[in-house]
Amino acid sequence: MNSLSPHEHLKPDAAAWFAALRDRICAAFEAIESKTGSQARFARTAWDRPGGGGGEMSVLRGQIFEKAGVNISVVEGEFTAEFASRIPGTESGAKFWAAGISLVAHPRSPKLPAVHMNTRMIVTAKGWFGGGGDLTPLQPGTEAAKEDAEFFHAAYKAACDRHDPAYYEKFKAWCDEYFYLPHRGEPRGAGGIFYDYLDSGSAEADFAFTRDVGEAFLAAYPPIALRRMNESYTPEERKAQLIRRGRYVEFNLLYDRGTTFGLKTGGNTEAILMSMPPEVKWP
């Protein structure tokens, strides 16, 4: 049996899991919206990738979430020389298969933090998992932002600890390093966890961990949204929120690997740029 077989056999289960997680997250966000009387629902748009596979983009525009997007995709094809050089052990023309889920939520209120989460499985000459979740308080430095960050991190630490006691500190540090804006000399937000190229030797164990990362998001973020959604805010706080959103745009366009992967492998441009906030300012 070759080394790819564990990940090959997981392809259907992984794709099904990402789709099921998408459905649960969309339902959770719509339930939060409904508490305001909003009837906002996710609008879903399917897309096909010319080189193989495709995905579905789901976007919500509501009272609580000015814009929230949850994308899933299952794509396959061949790496270009430019992109293959970025992945250890991968050659130009190597075939790949990738499935995943990616979420970004930009709340209307500056009292409610923005959030990002993604998990994925990729198979090339070998297979691996990656993903994570991170929180971006739009009023950094406040007691509320600290409280929300601690709650968010606790959920991810619990998920990590169920699998390996070393995971949380390792993946937290990786997140802090990854979601950093060198040109600003500052982190994008309050962090979370980030991992990539996870291949522990047990594809099943890595998939189980990746599922728990998705579960951790559901345990972490909806309670924060419910706690903050009715807090009042001033026009000045809204302006500061829009400026903070600029950091999100800068990171995603300059440094984000997921954005690069999608654009370099023929992904759907609108789905890739779904993470952009609906309104933003620069000072």
Point out the residues that are catalytic.
Answer: 116
SS (H, E, C) the chain: CCCCHHHHHHHHHHHHHHHHHHHHHHHHHHHHHHCCCCCCCCEEEEEECCCCEEEEEEEECCCCEEEEEEEEEEEEEECCHHHHCCCCCCCCCCEEEEEEEEEEEEECCCCCCEEEEEEEEEECCCEEEEEEEEEECCCCCCHHHHHHHHHHHHHHHHHHHCCCCCHHHHHHHHHHHHCEECCCCEECCCEEEEEEEECCCCHHHHHHHHHHHHHHHHHHHHHHHHHHCCCCCCHHHHHHHHHHHHHHHHHHHHCCHHHHHHHHCCCCHHHHHHHCCCCCCCC
Residue 27 near residue 107 (C-beta atoms within 8 A): no
Q: Dmax of the chain from CA atoms?
A: 62
Nearest to residue 95, comparing CAs of 113, 105, 108, 83?
Answer: 83
